[in-house]
Amino acid sequence: MSDRYGTFVQSGLGKQVAKNLGLPIPVTLERFEAGEKVVRGSVLFGAAPGDDARLSTAVAEVLQALHTEVFVANDDAHKDALTSVGIEVKNSGDNKDKYKVLVFDASNIAHAPDLKALYDFFHPVARQVEQSGRVIVIGRPPEECETIGSTLAQRALEGFVKSVGKEFKKGITAQLVYVSEGAESNLASTLSFLMSARSAYVSGQVVRVGAGNALQVDWSKPLAGKTALVTGASRGIGEAIARVLARDGAHVICLDIAPQQADLQRVAGEIGGSTLTLDITAADAGEKIAEAAAKRGGLDAIVHNAGVTRDKTLANMDEKQWDMVVDINLQSNAMINDYLFDHEVLNDNARIICVSSLSGIAGNLGQTNYATSKAGVIGLVSATAKKLKADNKGITINAVAPGFIETQMTAAIPFAIREAGRRMNSMSQGGLPVDVAETIAWFASPASGGVNGNTIRVCGQSLLGA
């Protein structure tokens, strides 16, 4: 659906009017384009002083593989981590141009006063970040820190990053990545995603990277030879997910209910996938999915995308509206997963991806049923992640929680509420279905084996539930 205000403020007159009235000025966000580099500009790297260079080295290896132009201060604590992997670093003191990415290893910060390293690194370059730029801070999970000092310091990073996300504007995103000790080599898929245009509408997020099998991939076709199933694939976000997973090389089994058959066939036909007409709440849904998967040698990814809303205030909601929403959005996901586990339908290193919602995090007027179901999805993901870790087959589960995404669902919202939802985020605009799909593709990558149990919002850093 078109964002007329967003288009108007791109014009000279529109920009002037918006500026004079103090209205938000959304920029056109950079998104994935075939043939474009992962990082469309230069990177400024920095690290807080300290002996542990493991994360700096992991970052250096990713930058080296991407062949990006890398700047670093001459006196940076971990400059050697870059040069030792063969990067020809440039001195940041000589650079007056803007950076596309600022990446900072904060893992050595272990006391409150040492947080000043954030100020020292970011303050001088706060106006030196390009449009659609990226700010990424890397640290250690506070819950795994051994001292009170390091726990408070690592936890403090979250406030810093979320504030930068709100301040920098111009489509610039800010993220915090916590990497467990020993999982440094699992950072590549996450860092590449967050530095790239694929994460256009993801901001203010905290990602946890832990132990797991991060497999080698061809980064241009990370899902080559894989089979993925997407529910609700005939339109909206599900259609975009199917298209992006197919673009990344997967054969996609597109699932939707019978009334959507025509659209389902259109989507599957256009991406060289296959179709499965099924109601995911049917008692034999798991069995039917298993049959379709067996024809292709099992499933490497399943995306539980299908979902419905039946909005009413609790006082006006009938029992059917409650039951239907919880059944489709939550119970079906749990039931299908159980069947897939019990019958070993998922291949080793498979990926399960659920679709929650901002409503499940913040709650929403008229959505007690929907918010209950979507909050339940987050619980499903964290409990299943623990089970999968213990199973040790390399299978992961994660969720996206979309905010305001331009779809038929949001086009049906009354104008004033729709306009508020669209603007109340750091990007001052709604996201696109492809933004959710790109985040799911990151989770789905065989290289994302260390990403398990995360719920990542695709909401442009919405003010709701922040």
Per CB under 6 A, residues contacting ligand NAP are 231-232, 234-238, 256-257, 259-260, 279-281, 305-308, 328, 355, 357, 402, 404-405, 407-410
Contacts of 318 (CB under 8 A, 6+ apart): 312
Per the residue annotation, which of 99, 178, 201, 370 is the catalytic one? 370
Least separation, in Å, of the C-beta of 230 and ligand NAP? Answer: 10
Least separation, in Å, of the C-beta of 176 and ligand NAP? Answer: 23
Cβ atoms 214, 241 nearer than 8 A: no
Length of the chain: 466
Q: Which is nearer to ligand NAP, 27 or 308 (CB)?
A: 308
Measured distance CA(261)–CA(266) in Å, rounded = 9
Q: Which is nearer to ligand NAP, 66 or 267 (CB)?
A: 267
Q: Which is nearer to ligand NAP, 140 or 422 (CB)?
A: 422
Cβ atoms 212, 184 nearer than 8 A: no
Helix (H, G, I), strand (E, B) or coil at 215: coil
Cβ atoms 70, 103 nearer than 8 A: no
What is the four-CA torsion angle of 363, 369, 260, 257, rounded to 10 degrees? 130
Least separation, in Å, of the C-beta of 286 and ligand NAP? Answer: 13
Q: Which is nearer to ligand NAP, 179 or 400 (CB)?
A: 400
Q: Which is nearer to ligand NAP, 192 or 364 (CB)?
A: 364
Q: Phi/psi at 186 (nearest 5 deg)?
A: -90, 5
Q: Phi/psi at 304 (nearest 5 deg)?
A: -85, 85
Measured distance CA(198)–CA(186) in Å, rounded = 19
Measured distance CA(402)–CA(406) in Å, rounded = 11
Q: Per DSSP, which regions of 407-464 are E strands?
A: 455-458
Cβ atoms 186, 446 nearer than 8 A: no
- In a 13 Å sphere around the CA of 260, the CA atoms on its Cβ side amount to 21
Which tokens in the block code for residue 111?
């006391």
Angle of CA points 448, 452, 455, to nearest 5°: 105
Q: Per DSSP, which regions of 121-162 are E strands?
A: 129-139
Least separation, in Å, of the C-beta of 319 and ligand NAP? Answer: 18
Which tokens in the block code for residue 216?
């080698």
Q: Which is nearer to ligand NAP, 82 or 401 (CB)?
A: 401
Beta strand pairing call for 455-458 and 396-402 = parallel
Least separation, in Å, of the C-beta of 231 and ligand NAP? Answer: 6
Q: Which is nearer to ligand NAP, 73 or 459 (CB)?
A: 459
Least separation, in Å, of the C-beta of 203 and ligand NAP? Answer: 16
5 is a catalytic site residue: no
DSSP state of 7: H
CA 191 to chain centre: 11
Burial class (CB in 10 A: 0-12, 13-18, 19+), 259: exposed
Least separation, in Å, of the C-beta of 266 and ligand NAP? Answer: 12
Least separation, in Å, of the C-beta of 243 and ligand NAP? Answer: 13
Measured distance CA(207)–CA(216) in Å, rounded = 21
Q: Which is nearer to ligand NAP, 328 or 464 (CB)?
A: 328
Helix (H, G, I), strand (E, B) or coil at 251: strand
Residues acting as catalytic residues: 370
